[in-house]
Amino acid sequence: MGINLWKVVYFVSAVLLNSTGSLAQLDVCGKSPLNSKIVGGVDASPGTWPWQVSFQIGGKHFCGGSLINENWVLSAAHCFQSVAASNVKVLLGLENIQGTNPNKQQRSASKIINHEGFNESNTLYNDIALVQLSSSVTFNNYVVPVCLTATNSTFSSGTNVWITGFGRAGYNVDLPSPQTLQEVQVQIVSNSDCAKVYGANVILDYMICAGVPDGGKDSCQGDSGGPLVLKQNTTWVQAGIVSFGSGCDVVRHFEDRLTYSDVEEIFSYHELWYLGKKIDGSGHNAESTNSKKQLFHDHLAYRYEVLEMLGKGSYGKVYKCLDHKTNEMVAVKVIQNMNSYKQEVEILDYLRKKDRHGSHGIVFMKNYFVFRGHLCIVYELLGRTLSQLKRSQRCSSAKLRCIARDILKCLCLLEKEKIVHGDLKPGNIMIGKDGIKVIDFGGSNFEQKIWFPLAFTLYYSSPELIMKHPSTTATDMWSLGCILAELHTGQYLFPGTDYKDQIARITEVLGRPPAEFFQNMETLDHFYGKGSM
């Protein structure tokens, strides 16, 4: 198609140097005594780019960054979506990822601060983050902060700049072992020319485009957050942060298989981890997430490969997927009615912050994103549900106590935070390698809000829920009692055939509720029809 491909980076200035200790380090920043993939790049000599940072989780590199003083690193906000600072290691002075690094300094991330204007649902804008180190680094020939450009600096089209990183060498092509730091020289491209590719509404004044018109040199997965630098006299200064672009020169590589809509969509993603059979021939293809066609081996957000369907309901479908970025299996819930289920993301994000160590039996939400009009929520992949366990075997008293204990860990946290799950049932309780996990918070809400769940299951619903009374966390305790009784006996505790029969069965066992309980009869008739009681 003859499209010119350029990388978009975020302009950064010396305003950021107001961080503690920065002014005292202006005399050392940008000095590279040893300086006399990046697609199309070459190996960098040790110490050439002493501010280069590798962010890693579990020993795996996922993003780049640049040291700006002894305590802070500059990077891209999109790198840290759904990432806890406690899991991030910060490595400096690296020559490569896999080999020997005699000059390595390693720290943990103690704090991650994303730009206040960064929005996880539209990650193209304000894509800037600061990462605080757990302790100060020691400056030497291999670890030096980069200088930041002065406020209101401008860069003319055609200016030569450098991009560095440990990212892939191309689409689905890892750097050859030992994965040496890559460097590539590109040129600044005017924003007006860049806007012809990405659109005027995408390229804003605080962005910089860089690349080569003919392609072949580009940043790739793992280069995000890394520095774009240039030399001013004898000092290296950072002008931008690698953010988004064509991705691994993939558009040029697959241009004969891409439609213009494909290209437009690809340009809106920071990283491209998987393209599916339609583009790279790696599996079976389907056209869209809302069709009846199967998605198997197609992609979700150019990262997740769909392998099989795990379940479906009124909300949409759940797929088992391979996350090509982390190389792990996950479950992705693809929701048709996005607005109705935004609350699930808000609740899970809130609980994720309250349960940082995952010790309360709540399914872990790894990520969420909007893809072609669908809300997609990424969860850890778990095993069987309690419904499947019930069908395969009866629970012993000892096993029942273990199950109750694990579920109560979840309910204790929900009670503390005044959150009502609203649809606790065997099908929403799963068995993982770390024990019981409660899933499906699609009908959850905070106790103080007047709300009614989108859906609930009659056999496990409290009388208050059935009668449309405001629900409290006691609703979930009622459901737990019904679940444990069912697991022990193999029978529903209150097997009502409809709402009226359910209330009657509960009343038969526990007695008639107080008179004020039935003051909501008009609401009951409205929802369930006249004569429901």
Q: Which one is the CATH code of 273-380: 3.40.1400.10, 3.30.470.10, 3.20.20.70, 3.30.200.20?
A: 3.30.200.20
CATH fold of 6-251:
Thrombin, subunit H (2.40.10)
pLDDT band at 16 (very low <50, low <70, confident <90, very high): very low
- Say what the pLDDT of residue 58 is: 86
- Tell me whether residue 423 is one of the annotated catalytic residues: yes
The residue-averaged pLDDT of 399-426 equals: 94
Residue 428 has pLDDT above 50, yes or no: yes
Q: What residue ranges of the chain are covered by domains with CATH 3.30.200.20? A: 273-380
Q: What residue ranges of the chain are covered by domains with CATH 1.10.510.10? A: 386-528
Q: Are strands 147-148 and 235-244 parallel, antiparallel or unpaired?
A: parallel
Residue 102 has pLDDT above 50, yes or no: yes
Residue 105 has pLDDT above 80, yes or no: yes
- Say what the pLDDT of residue 141 is: 94
Give the model confidence (pLDDT) of 315-333 as tens digits.
Answer: 789 999 999 888 889 999 9
Active-site pick, 423, 434, 440, 498: 423
425 among the known binding-site residues?
A: no
- Say what the pLDDT of residue 22 is: 45
- Say what the pLDDT of residue 416 is: 96
Considering 214-218, 241-245, 512-516, the range whose residues carry the highest mean pLDDT is 241-245
Q: What percent of the chain has pLDDT over 90?
A: 40
Residue 379 has pLDDT above 90, yes or no: yes
- Say what the pLDDT of residue 528 is: 46
Q: Name which residue leads in pLDDT, 391 or 284.
A: 391
Q: Name which residue leads in pLDDT, 477 or 21.
A: 477
For the chain, what is the total number of helices (H) and then of strands (E)? 11, 24
Q: In whole angstroms, how large is the CA radius of gyration of the chain?
A: 27
pLDDT band at 214 (very low <50, low <70, confident <90, very high): low
Give the model confidence (pLDDT) of 450-482 as tens digits.
Answer: 555 556 789 999 988 888 887 889 999 999 999
Which whole-number Å values give the CA distances from 493 to 468, 490, 508, in the listed order?
A: 21, 9, 12
Residue 341 has pLDDT above 90, yes or no: no
The residue-averaged pLDDT of 104-131 equals: 88
The residue-averaged pLDDT of 293-301 equals: 78
Q: 451-487 b/e with 16+ CB inside 10 Å = b?
A: bbbbebebbbbbbbbbbebebebebbebbbebbbebb
Residue-averaged pLDDT of the chain:
82
CATH fold of 386-528:
Transferase(Phosphotransferase); domain 1 (1.10.510)
- Say what the pLDDT of residue 97 is: 93
- Say what the pLDDT of residue 246 is: 59
Q: Are 39 and 249 in contact (CB under 8 A)?
A: yes
The residue-averaged pLDDT of 133-140 equals: 97
